[in-house]
Amino acid sequence: MDRNSEKNQFRGIIPPMITPLLNEDELDFEGLGKLINHIVVGGVHGIFILGTTGESTSLPYPIRHRLVEETCNLVKKRVPILVGITDTAVSESLKLAQTAKYSGASALVAAPPYYFNLGQPELIEYYEYLADRLPLPLFLYNMPSHTKINIEPETVKKLSEHENIIGLKDSSGNTAYFNKLLFHMKDDPGFSLFVGPEEIMAETVLLGGHGGVNGGANMFPELYVKLYDAAVTGDIKKVRELHALVMNISAGLYSLGKFGSSYLKGLKCALHLLGICNDYMSSPLNKFRKEEKSRLVVNLEEIQKKLQASKILTQNKKKDQ
Amino acid sequence: MDRNSEKNQFRGIIPPMITPLLNEDELDFEGLGKLINHIVVGGVHGIFILGTTGESTSLPYPIRHRLVEETCNLVKKRVPILVGITDTAVSESLKLAQTAKYSGASALVAAPPYYFNLGQPELIEYYEYLADRLPLPLFLYNMPSHTKINIEPETVKKLSEHENIIGLKDSSGNTAYFNKLLFHMKDDPGFSLFVGPEEIMAETVLLGGHGGVNGGANMFPELYVKLYDAAVTGDIKKVRELHALVMNISAGLYSLGKFGSSYLKGLKCALHLLGICNDYMSSPLNKFRKEEKSRLVVNLEEIQKKLQASKILTQNKKKDQ
Amino acid sequence: MDRNSEKNQFRGIIPPMITPLLNEDELDFEGLGKLINHIVVGGVHGIFILGTTGESTSLPYPIRHRLVEETCNLVKKRVPILVGITDTAVSESLKLAQTAKYSGASALVAAPPYYFNLGQPELIEYYEYLADRLPLPLFLYNMPSHTKINIEPETVKKLSEHENIIGLKDSSGNTAYFNKLLFHMKDDPGFSLFVGPEEIMAETVLLGGHGGVNGGANMFPELYVKLYDAAVTGDIKKVRELHALVMNISAGLYSLGKFGSSYLKGLKCALHLLGICNDYMSSPLNKFRKEEKSRLVVNLEEIQKKLQASKILTQNKKKDQ
Amino acid sequence: MDRNSEKNQFRGIIPPMITPLLNEDELDFEGLGKLINHIVVGGVHGIFILGTTGESTSLPYPIRHRLVEETCNLVKKRVPILVGITDTAVSESLKLAQTAKYSGASALVAAPPYYFNLGQPELIEYYEYLADRLPLPLFLYNMPSHTKINIEPETVKKLSEHENIIGLKDSSGNTAYFNKLLFHMKDDPGFSLFVGPEEIMAETVLLGGHGGVNGGANMFPELYVKLYDAAVTGDIKKVRELHALVMNISAGLYSLGKFGSSYLKGLKCALHLLGICNDYMSSPLNKFRKEEKSRLVVNLEEIQKKLQASKILTQNKKKDQ
């Protein structure tokens, strides 16, 4: 694979898609169709399925494979699809990669195996073993709060020499770390660097980052696309305006629960309230109960008003007709 | 299930069996047979498969199910079998539990789901959801270094009210914590409390613990059984003598690598050197290379001599003929 | 200094003395006198001042120096005094060591400097620098929860070669770690190994540990001394009986608050209720408020009844007359 | 104190000054004079002494007080001085605050007490106790890697109601967290929000942050001031150019050691090589040895060439004549 070919250079907003579910073992197919259409029409540059936001590690394996096939079917090549294959068992990662390949996905994403506490040399061996066997190019996925290991800059540099490894998504929230990666990789434009937390997308793109894998783009894809565009072109006034809206979403929708999962629960609950899909969350998480939900209803309305005032949501409405 | 029935009260040495492998996707069946026979003849009180020592989370799912079936076949009810069903996806845990049930296993063991960072209330909900649906009684498995969450004493107390939850295995190494559990549960003898690290088995049994899930019992089961017996009867002189041998094993075999996985790599390498099974380790771990292996050869010989001097290994040799 | 001389071989129960205070900047001298007498008459083998239990790091420096002098005056050589000199500024540690020396203390205790995140080689350099300049022999103090660094077994081994370093107090609660230290140092009886948490004192002494630096011995010194004696002589029946009392104290008095400081707050509150000293806690901790205090009153009474039933407290009462 | 008064609204580049030392107990007065002049002439908006970069917690107390007096003398009111009073003993913080007040400093900075593991309510009580007694306004200082506690956004919001608390310096590197603070405090311009790591200064100022407390400004103050100015005015082209220089400094000077202290050691070594002051580091840190130093010499020269090419250093040279 030539990672400097145009098709392997990812840029822009690639939402980490939530996984619409009816219950522990069933996809919400209707919701999935609506969600995909909503996101794609919103102008995003790709879709990332089976990430943390997609509750990947909580889903039974048949569901994971089915979701890959169905998403590829529904997207119909309108945007590239990235498939999360993060797993503690490398053979299961490889099987899912095969499903991704024959279904027509474009790339794969893998966080470090998250059970054992690995050293950096063990991590390098792991990724090389994996990348050697993958039928599609691979993004590294840094997620130290969940995997207990940070992919150190020197490790990224070493792994970037593998022709099958084409980028990294950083969900650490640590922009000092991310800026070090950008600096280390500045002479290698074929290596794409994305951030997860939407609260830092604008600023990282302003300083050379390649895009955002932002959960909020499940709800309001246009907002994130416009913010990305403003950041790429250096339109700092527009960036400040739209970034404030993202911070409103973050404060109003992602902080209502008591645990680390507040973001995920808030996002799925909001998508349900927006009429897009079911809000079932797979174990070990549980959807918001009445109290959090009623606070979210209020906050969501306020945010929608602000988005309308900024002419983000009107377009959205038209599109859905 | 009546957890106070005799059949559900586990006591003694229950080795966390390593998983003999030929490669990433194949069990070493010959090694498995030899290993099981070696352990059972050694006098253990049960076998725990698919734990951390069994590299459970690294194994492809078909291998996990196959291992359950094959182990039950080979053990032939000589000792009870406990099956690890730890998983991030609760549906996969339930499937493996079904395989355990129809294969004839006696109980199940589950650590907290290890991807998301859960709060204690979320953890309680998870275990209750799981225990409600299991066809066999369940041991909790505390393993904070790998799961990022400690099962707090209050949580254990709450979960112990569930009739399907019959005990806990603690691999934290923190005996202050374990003694708190023993104290909290002292009026509930149907709730079994085991420790993982063999370095602390003797002392916890001396003070009321119910046994050890000790990796070294894969190699030298008699040693651990005798140490357990001495501790239960309060034969402190014998305890001190045999405990010193366990510490020799810990120092000589489990500390030769550079990372957290030294214990696991050393154990599997030693079993290979003892002629019992293959030393292939599944990704993301790798077996010891030449340097560590040659140091381990020396240490293993010294330990065998000490075990012979203490009359542990002679019996072992006879048994194998 | 000859660490193998008898005077440098510490054994037994050495309570980490709480620091009686009237307010942020004043010692409770009356309470201090009563407390010291209470502890010494209780039969302990030494007193350790200015440890974590003594709120050392919270005290203004003049108070620290004054406490050393006053304690030495009051103890009058009846038992050896160990002085905590843990500090982030090594020069302040050295000054306090001088005060300890001229006041007549016997040894010093230092945890790693707790602000910077040190590597093990940096830690070795620090301790060697310190030990080279101390006028009294030094105990290492392992306290990873507060200092963010574990003194690794290899580091202890290396530092034990320094003639001025005579032992280690481990407050990690991790007995697997402590047993490794005992094993590493087994041929060096001049190196004393103590544990902090009283919940594990009995078992570590049973297996070769040299004693306990147990907070509860501020309240009930005889209990801890008898438990230590029983453990040293291997009287396992007595150990189990007295250990159960210690666990009652731990459960009833140290777990009533919401934060990591519950142990410290409970201990100081109980000493106040026992009429020994003031319960003022220096910032950033605060003494228990009404609710926790009233629960503690109930628990303390129950414990006193149990201690009387076991003939621990009767002796105590006589002694105080 | 009126925190909305102009004099209490801090903005811009406020270098965390390193502390020039001759040895463990002596300031390098000559170096201090040169360093202060170098920084002030470089155009900074203030100087922060006795922070982490100033090795505050490692310095003996007389040195801390002397440094406050001497710095105030040397600065001669050209820029405001902020004094770090972080301590585990609140009385020592208060004493240092008095010295700061009578010496003419403008504000104080305090990280959470760093020994005990506090809960957020305990942290609020601590800061309120402290702020009630301070003679100068206070900045909170978030430094979770060193203090083991994150000052949560809700806690900041609560503390911002105290009239004596006028801002926060965040050294977490986590810009997602910092952006949440900016959002929470957006209607309270009298509350100043600064970041520590220079790798993220530009982007946070672009999105509303008030400045940087950046170590590199000890060496090249003009660079950081110009970068700040470019960010405030939204000159994104200039920001990208100068930010790249900062990343060169970060990569070339702060990553040469093996431990967390590489930044500090590199910075002090570079200042020595620049002829500004001694490179003695107080225990428990140690200055770079030959190997790291010789690599730093090479990197520093390259950086100086780049700064000259960007017309940053020429001005610097003129100024020093």
| Tens-place pLDDT, residues C133-169 | 999 999 999 999 999 999 999 999 999 999 999 999 9
Q: How far apart are CA B319 and CA B316, in angstroms?
A: 5
C-alpha C152 chain-centroid distance = 21
Q: How far apart are CA A147 and CA A165, in angstroms?
A: 19
pLDDT at D9: 83
Q: A283 to chain B nearest CA, in Å?
A: 6
Q: How many CB atoms lie within 10 A of CB D102?
A: 11
Q: How far apart are CA B119 and CA A154, in angstroms?
A: 33
Q: How far apart are CA B258 and CA B251, in angstroms?
A: 14
Architecture (CATH level 2) of domain C6-234: Alpha-Beta Barrel (3.20)
Q: Is the dihedral of CA A82, A83, A86, A91 positive or negative?
A: negative
Give the pLDDT band of residue D321 (cuts 50, 70, 90): very low
The structure tokens 């299930």 sit at B1
Mutation target vs A (from B25, B129, B283, B285; most A CBs, 10 A cutoff): B283
Q: How far apart are CA A17 and CA A27, in angstroms?
A: 13
| Beta-carbon contacts below 8 Å between A and B | 129
B154 CB contacts (<8 Å, ≥6 apart)? B120
Cross-chain CB nearest to A236 (options D175, D197, D236): D236
Structure tokens at D194: 């600064």
**Which residue from B minimizes the CA distance to A258?**
B119
Report chain A residues whose CB lies below 8 A from the CB of D172.
174
Q: How many CB atoms lie within 10 A of CB C2?
A: 11
Report chain B residues whose CB lies below 8 A from the CB of C202.
207
Residue D215 DSSP label:
G
R_g (Cα) of chain A, nearest Å: 18
- CB-based contact C89:D58 (threshold 8 Å): yes
* Interaxial angle between packed helices A236-253 and A221-232, expressed in degrees from 0 to 180 and rounded to the nearest 10: 150
- CB-based contact C195:C169 (threshold 8 Å): yes
| CA neighbor of B109 nearest in space, from B145, B139, B137 | B139
Structural element, H or E, at residue D165: strand D165-170
| CA neighbor of C112 nearest in space, from C94, C136, C78, C88 | C88
| Tens-place pLDDT, residues C15-57 | 999 999 999 999 999 999 999 999 999 999 999 999 999 999 9
Region at A84 (left for phi over 0; alpha for psi -120 to 50; beta for the rest) = beta
Give the pLDDT band of residue D257 (cuts 50, 70, 90): confident
Q: How far apart are CA D213 and CA D230, in angstroms?
A: 16
Which D residues, 116 through 175, put their C-beta within 8 Å of a C-beta on chain C? 116-119, 121-123, 125-126, 129-130, 145-146, 148
Q: How far apart are CA C164 and CA B111, in angstroms?
A: 45
Per-residue exposure over A264-277, b if at least 16 CB sit within 10 Å of its own CB, e if not = bbbbbbbbbbbebb
Amino acid at position A36, single letter: I
pLDDT at A258: 78
Amino acid at position D230, single letter: A
Using alpha carbons only, give the angle A236, A240, A243 rounded to the nearest 5 degrees: 125
Q: How far apart are CA A30 and CA A33, in angstroms?
A: 5
Q: C179 to chain D nearest CA, in Å?
A: 26
- For residue A153, is the peptide bond before it cis, meaning its omega torsion is within 30 degrees of 0? no
Residue B12 DSSP label:
E
Chain A neighbours, 3+ Cβ pairs < 8 A: B, D
Q: How far apart are CA D147 and CA D113, in angstroms?
A: 7
**Which residue from C minimizes the CA distance to D287?**
C122
pLDDT at D260: 74
| Tens-place pLDDT, residues B105-142 | 999 999 999 999 999 999 999 999 999 999 999 999 99
Structure tokens at B241: 């003598």
C8 touches chain B (CB under 8 A): no
Q: Is D91–C115 a contact, with Cβ atoms under 8 angstroms apart?
A: no
Report chain B residues whose CB lies below 8 A from the CB of C183.
244, 247-248, 250-251
Q: How far apart are CA B141 and CA D196, in angstroms?
A: 41
Report chain A residues whose CB lies below 8 A from the CB of B121.
258
Report chain A residues whose CB lies below 8 A from the CB of B125.
284, 286
| pLDDT at D8 > cutoff 70 | no
Mean pLDDT of chain A: 94
Beta-bridge partner residues of B107: B82
Q: Is A247–D180 a contact, with Cβ atoms under 8 angstroms apart?
A: yes
The structure tokens 């949580």 sit at B155
- CB-based contact C10:C211 (threshold 8 Å): yes
| pLDDT at A261 > cutoff 90 | no
Q: How far apart are CA B194 and CA B209, in angstroms?
A: 6
Q: How many angstroms separate the first and last alpha carbons of chain B?
A: 41
The strand pair at B21-23 and B26-27 is best described as antiparallel
Cross-chain CB nearest to A179 (options D176, D182, D247): D247
Q: How far apart are CA A140 and CA A156, in angstroms?
A: 8
Give the pLDDT band of residue B92 (cuts 50, 70, 90): very high
| pLDDT at B187 > cutoff 50 | yes
- For residue D284, is the peptide bond before it cis, meaning its omega torsion is within 30 degrees of 0? yes
- CB-based contact A168:A108 (threshold 8 Å): no
| CA neighbor of D106 nearest in space, from D210, D232, D14 | D14
Mutation target vs C (from D55, D56, D58; most C CBs, 10 A cutoff): D58
pLDDT at D2: 62
Give the pLDDT band of residue B4 (cuts 50, 70, 90): low
Structural element, H or E, at residue D29: helix D29-41
C-alpha C33 chain-centroid distance = 18
C92 touches chain D (CB under 8 A): yes
Instruction: Indicate the SS3 state at residue C199.
Output: helix
The strand pair at C211-212 and B165-170 is best described as unpaired
C164 CB contacts (<8 Å, ≥6 apart)? C1, C3, C131, C132, C134, C137, C138
Q: Give the rounded percent of residues in chain C with a pLDDT score beyond 90.
A: 90
Structure tokens at D72: 């105030």
Q: How far apart are CA D168 and CA B68, in angstroms?
A: 56
Q: D289 to chain C nearest CA, in Å?
A: 13
Structure tokens at D283: 């225990």
Instruction: Indicate the SS3 state at residue C255.
Output: coil
Region at A123 (left for phi over 0; alpha for psi -120 to 50; beta for the rest) = alpha
Q: Is D116–C59 a contact, with Cβ atoms under 8 angstroms apart?
A: no
- CB-based contact C67:C27 (threshold 8 Å): yes
B78 touches chain A (CB under 8 A): no
Amino acid at position C34, single letter: K
Q: Domain residue spans in chain D?
A: 6-234
- Please state the rounded mean pLDDT for residues D83-107: 98
- Please state the rounded mean pLDDT for residues C225-247: 97
Q: Is D57–C89 a contact, with Cβ atoms under 8 angstroms apart?
A: yes
pLDDT at D3: 64
Amino acid at position B28, single letter: D
Phi, psi of D83 (to 5 degrees): -115, 125
The strand pair at D21-23 and B165-170 is best described as unpaired
Q: Is D183–A248 a contact, with Cβ atoms under 8 angstroms apart?
A: yes
3-state helix, strand, coil in chain D (%, to 5): 50, 10, 35
pLDDT at B318: 43
Q: Which region among A33-37, A223-227, B315-319, C115-119 has the lowest average model confidence (pLDDT)?
A: B315-319
Q: How far apart are CA D108 and CA D83, in angstroms?
A: 5
pLDDT at A1: 56
Per-residue exposure over C81-92, b if at least 16 CB sit within 10 Å of its own CB, e if not = bbbbbbbbbbbb
Amino acid at position A91, single letter: S
pTM of the model: 0.95
Q: How far apart are CA C18 and CA D70, in angstroms?
A: 38
Q: How many CB atoms lie within 10 A of CB A301?
A: 12
- CB-based contact A47:A247 (threshold 8 Å): no
| pLDDT at C3 > cutoff 70 | no
Q: How far apart are CA D272 and CA D264, in angstroms?
A: 12
The stretches of chain C forming alpha helices (DSSP H) are 29-41, 61-75, 90-103, 120-133, 144-147, 153-159, 175-184, 201-206, 221-232, 236-253, 262-273, 290-309, 313-320
Q: Give the rounded percent of residues in chain B with a pLDDT score beyond 70.
A: 95
| Tens-place pLDDT, residues A267-316 | 999 999 999 999 999 999 999 999 999 999 999 999 999 999 998 886 44
Supply the DSSP string of D198-253, one letter for each residue.
Answer: GGGHHHHHHTT--EE--GGGGT-HHHHHHHHHHHHTT-HHHHHHHHHHHHHHHHHH
Structure tokens at A177: 């770390």
